[in-house]
A = this chain, B = another copy of it.
């Protein structure tokens, strides 16, 4: 595939995946952002800043280099990229196996983040998807590399594709943008289920050996095409 075709395809994928954030109730107004790496290029595509979800088109997505700088003259380059672009760029620079990054302020995940509390893994769906707890990353302020560094430091070598940045909300990664969106959807789903479970009393832990076998099976057997995830690669 040509460079132009590869960029076009990622623009289309990233634009349409924002619809999944809406469908699953992960974002309100203009919040949240999805990005996707252009395969074979030191480039990624991300949402423009503060633009309504109804107006997101492939052409309005913004093409950036791995320092987070907008590629001059590219389509949409007259607009500002998402204010979280530096964090996305940092992840792409430091985690070459990552092909997609998502950030939301989804309600239940952000509630755990406001307490700075990791989500314990007491349900099998969470073991399948994340292999154990979803960890908390440090408090970090926009303006330098501290958010990106917090994500990378927390998720490197960790099974989880989701991190709850303290007082802020979840960032998720994946082998491509779609996989990172799936992680964002499942992160909110398990954050909600575990929240509600604990409201009613103590939850029952799952033994580590069972966590291991559930995670292993799901990553290798589930679904139609067997594909490696960045989390698996990071563990090797």
Contacts and interface: CB of A to CB of B under 8 A. Distances in A.
A interface, size bucket? 35 or more
Contact of A51 (B193, B204, B224): B224
Contact of A110 (B48, B83, B123): B123
Contacts of A186: 28-29
Given A111-B193, A224-B50, A169 B30 contact: no
Interface in A153-188: 166-169, 182, 185-186
A197 B50 contact: no
Q: Which of A168, A185, A196, A204 has the most CB of B within 10 A?
A: A196
A117 interface: yes
B204 A29 contact: no
Nearest to A113: B123
A200 interface: yes
A1 interface: no
B125 A31 contact: yes
Interface string A86-110: 0000000000000000000101101
Given A105-B123, A115-B203, A189 B49 contact: no
Contacts of A125: 31, 105, 110, 168-169
A149 interface: no
B116 A29 contact: no
A73 interface: no
Contacts of A30: 223
A114 B204 contact: yes
A37 interface: no
Nearest 6 A/B pairs, CB to CB: A50-B223, A114-B197, A111-B197, A111-B196, A114-B203, A124-B168
18 contacts: A49-B222, A50-B222, A50-B224, A105-B189, A107-B189, A107-B192, A108-B196, A114-B123, A114-B203, A115-B197, A115-B200, A115-B202, A117-B201, A125-B168, A141-B210, A167-B204, A195-B199, A195-B200
